[in-house]
Amino acid sequence: MKRNLQGILFKQIEALQHTNKRKISGMKNESTKKIIRAIVENVEELLPVYLQNESDRSISNGNVAIVIIEEDGSVAGKIFGTNKIRARESFRVAWTKASQVWITGIKTGEYEKKIFNDEISDVTYGISKPDMIGWEGGQPITLKDGTKLAAGFSGIRGFNDLEIVVKAVAKAEVQ
């Protein structure tokens, strides 16, 4: 009887621990989703500043996109602009940048350099040279809580594709 009671208690404790782990994981997931939403909102807020520069504006006339991929493969993002065809292309490029970072963990421009300097093989991550994207704008992001994200942005100059996301993340983590 005593052994049976211990077994029942053990199973109940185990079930509670499992439930608590799910709750904590769910809370972290909700926190991550909230930060991702804030990142996208911050990009939207910062975008007009970048589009004041003719060199950035002329690339896609404000038809830009951001894509964020979580470690588990969940995808978030937004397409900005009024030209659906041009915005679709920006989204395709942003998706390619983000997914390449999600797979490799390396910024898109840096990955290309590593491939062409023979530091890594193009088969290391399963992305062949014709499918790889070397433009800047894809980057790994590590949030303050250690959560890893892969972000891709497209539609303005590459160094600004990177910068706008860095600024949006920094602002999102203090909101």
- Which pLDDT band, with edges at 50, 70 and 90, does 175 fall under? confident
29 domain residue, yes or no:
no
The CA distances from residue 174 to 42, 97, 147, in Å, are 12, 26, 15
As to burial, measured by CB atoms within 10 angstroms (0-12 exposed, 13-18 middle, 19+ buried), residue 15 is exposed
Give the per-residue pLDDT at 12: 55
Query: Would you say residue 111 has pLDDT above 90?
Result: yes
Number of structural domains in the chain: 1
23 with 31: CB under 8 angstroms? no
8 domain residue, yes or no:
no
Query: Would you say residue 107 has pLDDT above 70?
Result: yes
Interval 29-84: pLDDT, tens: 899 999 999 999 999 999 999 999 999 999 999 999 999 999 999 999 999 999 99
By residue range, what is the domain housing residue 162?
A: 35-174
Q: For the domain that residue 109 is a member of, what is the CATH number?
A: 3.30.450.150
**What pTM was computed for the model?**
0.83
